[in-house]
Chain A
Amino acid sequence: MAATDIARPSRLPASGWIGILLHRLGISGRSLVIAIPFLWLLLYFFLPFLIVLKVSLAFITIAQPPYTHFDSAGNFVLNIGDSYGRLVSDALYIKAYLNSLMVAAISTVLCLLIGYPFAYGIARSGPSMRNILLMLVILPFWTSFLIRVYAWIGLLKNNGLINDFLLWTGIIDSPIGMMNTNFAVYLGIVYSYLPFMILPLYANLEKMDVSLLEAATDLGCKPLKAFFLITVPLSVPGIVAGSMLVFIPAVGEYVIPELLGGPSSLMIGRVLWGEFFSNRDWPTASAVAIAVLLALVVPLMLYQKYQDKELEKEA
């Protein structure tokens, strides 16, 4: 009896005057519990996207807020031409868009190549060691992201630590220009997002059944071959989850290209920021947001699917 009740606790009559009131209104406690976070997210997370879509179809105007849905004759018009027209006709936007996707994709692959052996190493170390190593991975994540990006400026500058060290050892004669380059942007993204790759990979590799590898070795399989034939295929959910956690936010990254990149490190997050804050062209900024979202629909769905899968396995 208890088991069925716990599955649908709201079927028990609610107590107190609130309960009686809700009961009269035909609202169960269960739907009230669901409604609180659901309505919050609908209002503050989902509805805003519809408004972005709406604003992307507006005209720019000199007013507060600087957009209007009415043309000069005062008619309500869905204005696709201005904002989206600008996106497809100006090479700057297309270049920034494609460049962002490329930078995010390459950074994701780099994070995977660096993070996989690392997560594997943690997952295969002793239980007490494992917890310490894991904490050391999480700790930088808790400290400020902005400060971790800032820290790289001191290392990468022409008179920064890395150049000073290389000059001192005599490997180079003059400083290498690393700040304000695409190299610095890649470095910053890989550095900042690496923990997001490591943690899902670790969670997956830690749960893996080691006896499968033992069986393969017993049957004469070389360890490296067993690694690629067994470990890697079994860790695909972890790889996908980690890759999406890096790729999706990296596409729209603003802070890293702004602080470490140069004028040529054109990324769409910077373009959106510039349109919004410098040009005060809100319709174009909104159209850029919609274009980025379109590119992220499939990655977002993948992320959602694999995240659910991993969580179900945990239960």
Chain B
Amino acid sequence: MTNRLSWFIIFWLVAVFAFLYAPIISVIVYSFNSSKLVTVWAGWSLKWYGELAKDRQIIDAAVLSLEIAAISATLATILGTIAGYVLVRFPKFLGRTAFSGMVSAPLVMPEVITGLSMLLLFISMEQAIGWPQGRGLTTVIIAHTTFTLSYVAVVMRSRFLVLDLSLEEAAQDLGARPLKVFFVITLPIVAPAIVSGWLLGFTISLDDLVITSFTNGPGTSTLPMVVFSKVRLGLDPKINALATIIIAIVSIGVIIAIAHMRRVERQRQRDEQMAIRAIAAKA
């Protein structure tokens, strides 16, 4: 590449990163602003964090959202891992194309459509079989599980695609049954991917507004719903404080997760190498 193009690319990288981070940084900086007017600077202060800590509505909603996200992410991880495994290991079965489409479509489907369709399903089910009774925690969790399982499935599918089959074959040669091979060999190897799939599902569930608005009932206002109703009325310094806390937690979490996954991955590679060498030496 010529120098001219390289300079252009470097400039572009800097400009786009500035674009991506400028709004986030402005929210963080203004969360420490003592003025009630969000965009007028009046000196550093932690007062909005104090106000936030006193806001029962936001705290209750946050606890509810964390609860929904934890349950949905766990269910989605179980289903998504199986779905990813099926897509990689079972290349032929009746309805595979339909299955693969249903796994990946929720990733891009406009949320208003997913939300509306799930609500109409719950209402029809209630009319037909009497379950689920009304809308609330159950329906929100089912909806969240359904669309987050796709994210988990994509992560797990890529992981299973590059998985070395020799260890599973070895275990099977030694007489382990398929189910045992899966739980004792396959699952521990892909564990880091499962953790990142769970985290992805957790954050996506935590953040959802549209699908939750359709599928929830009275008394289940999640954090994004409370934030949305406040933001609609204009800027609110407490929301800046809340945003800063979320950004801080997510950033720390992502950094720790990436560092940990790298360490586990390196350790696993070393273990595998040693096992292969040990087997080769015996033979």
**Residues of A in contact with B (beta carbons under 8 Å apart):** 1-3, 5-6, 9-10, 12, 14-15, 29-31, 33-34, 36-38, 40-49, 51-52, 55, 65, 114-115, 117-118, 120-122, 124, 133, 135-140, 142-148, 150-155, 157, 159-161, 164, 191, 194-195, 223-224, 227, 244-245, 248-249, 251-255, 258-259, 269, 272-273, 276-277, 282, 285-286, 289, 292-293, 296, 300, 303-304, 307-308, 311, 314-315
Contacts and interface: CB of A to CB of B under 8 A. Distances in A.
Interface of B: 1-2, 5, 8-10, 12-13, 16-17, 19-24, 26-27, 30, 38-40, 79-80, 82-83, 85-86, 90, 93, 95, 98-113, 116-118, 120-121, 123-124, 142-143, 145-146, 149, 153, 157-158, 161-162, 165, 168-170, 172-173, 177-179, 181, 203, 206-207, 209-210, 213-214, 224, 227-228, 231-232, 234-235, 239-240, 242-243, 246-247, 250-251, 253-254, 258
Contacts of A145: 207
| For the complex of A and B, 8 pairs with smallest distance between CB atoms | A252-B110, A48-B117, A151-B23, A9-B178, A37-B83, A48-B121, A248-B108, A121-B9
Contacts of A120: 9
Nearest to B80: A37
B272 to A, nearest CB: 17
A245 B108 contact: yes
Given A37-B103, A146-B228, A245-B108, A47 B121 contact: yes
Contacts, number: 259
23 contacts: A5-B172, A15-B179, A36-B79, A37-B79, A40-B79, A43-B121, A44-B143, A45-B106, A121-B9, A121-B12, A146-B231, A147-B247, A150-B27, A151-B23, A151-B24, A154-B30, A154-B235, A194-B20, A269-B110, A269-B112, A300-B105, A303-B108, A311-B158
A314 B161 contact: yes
Contacts of B90: 30, 33-34
A58 to B, nearest CB: 10
Given A10-B178, A150-B243, A160-B39, A289 B117 contact: yes
